[in-house]
Amino acid sequence: MKGRALYLACGIPAAILCFLLLTLLFTPNYAIKGVLTRVAENAGYTLECTGFGKSFPVGLKSDAVALSSEKGELIKLRDVTVRLELLPLLTGRTRFAYRGRIGAGGLEGDFEPGKNGGWSVQGRGIRLEEIPFFSSVAEARIRGELRVNGKLATRKGVGTGELQLEVRAAEIAGVKIGQMPLPDAAYREVRGALTIANGKAVLKSFTLDGDGIYVRLKGETGLTTPIGASPLNLALEMMPKPVFLERQKFVFLLLTKYQTSPGAFSIPIHGTLAHPAMM
């Protein structure tokens, strides 16, 4: 019995590995790339890969990967690799590790496919100006160095998890919500924490500590597919100092209806993630 149990414990993962290896080996690169492209299209996005191929022992690689929406390019990565992790196979789990470069920084993590899977992400040294979403979709000028850490798990088809981010020496200019401009500012520190549960993403905290202004964003969004259609229920609070307010008087004149007290503004934000709007 012990020998049979040992045989099963070793044989099943080995069989899975051989199946995946043979499948990957005999499937042409263009066919694998086509499957990934169709998955992205079904989610409402366009995926482009250059220098796409297989990596040893069981994995895929691409010199460059770009993900776009109908509004423009969202993210571009270099030296992307996705590899099957062998040790989790011993416990009957299929887990993949991934990594990619964004400018001088990079993203890495792992994910497990399936209804009870999940993913993790860690990012360091990422310059926001290297992320095309801000200029192509948000049409804003964003600078700063991003650090991000997060985990998402799926239980019975429901996602749960948390995402934390930090930006140092941020500069934000040209941001609009709908057609309404927000003040340009430099921020010493930006910190945020997002919790995902029960089909919603909730901002536990998101603060921007700037030169003459303090900003806080709070609220939630119900997650949908595609993600851009997720409805927003947010409130943006701004507390500018008198000197800062005077320096950007025109912008704050446009925001007068949202002033709650001297030196304090509260702006409700609704619409969708792709098309936010002030109410």
pLDDT tens for the 279 residues of the chain, in order? 444 444 444 445 555 555 555 555 556 788 888 888 898 888 788 999 999 888 877 788 999 999 998 888 899 999 999 988 877 777 777 888 999 999 889 999 998 887 777 889 999 999 999 999 888 877 889 999 999 999 988 776 667 899 999 999 999 999 888 888 889 999 999 999 999 888 889 998 899 999 899 999 999 988 877 777 889 999 999 999 999 999 999 999 999 999 999 889 999 999 888 788 887
Answer whether 67's CB lies under 8 Å from 75's CB.
yes
Answer whether 36's CB lies under 8 Å from 46's CB.
no
Question: pLDDT at position 7, please?
Answer: 40
Question: pLDDT at position 157, please?
Answer: 63
Question: pLDDT at position 9, please?
Answer: 44
Exposed e or buried b for every residue in 57-89, given b needs 16+ CB within 10 A? ebbbbbebbbbbbeeebbebbeebebbbeeebb
Task: Tell me the pLDDT tens digit for each residue of 54-98.
Answer: 887 778 899 999 999 888 889 999 999 998 887 777 777 788 899
CA dist 11 and 3 (Å) reads 12
**What residue has token string 């993949």?**
96
**51 contacts: CB under 8 Å, gap ≥ 6:** 61, 62, 63, 64
CA dist 213 and 184 (Å) reads 10
Answer whether 227's CB lies under 8 Å from 210's CB.
no
Six-digit token pair at 174? Answer: 């040209």
Nearest C-alpha neighbor of 72 from the set 137, 118, 14: 137
Question: pLDDT at position 3, please?
Answer: 45
Task: Establish how many alpha carbons lie within 13 A of residue 193's alpha carbon, considering only the half-sphere containing its beta carbon.
Answer: 2
What rounded mean pLDDT belongs to the chain? 84
CA dist 167 and 186 (Å) reads 11
Neighbours of 102 (CB within 10 A): 19
This prediction's pTM = 0.80
Task: Establish how many alpha carbons lie within 13 A of residue 263's alpha carbon, considering only the half-sphere containing its beta carbon.
Answer: 9
SS3 label, residue 132: coil
CA dist 192 and 1 (Å) reads 53
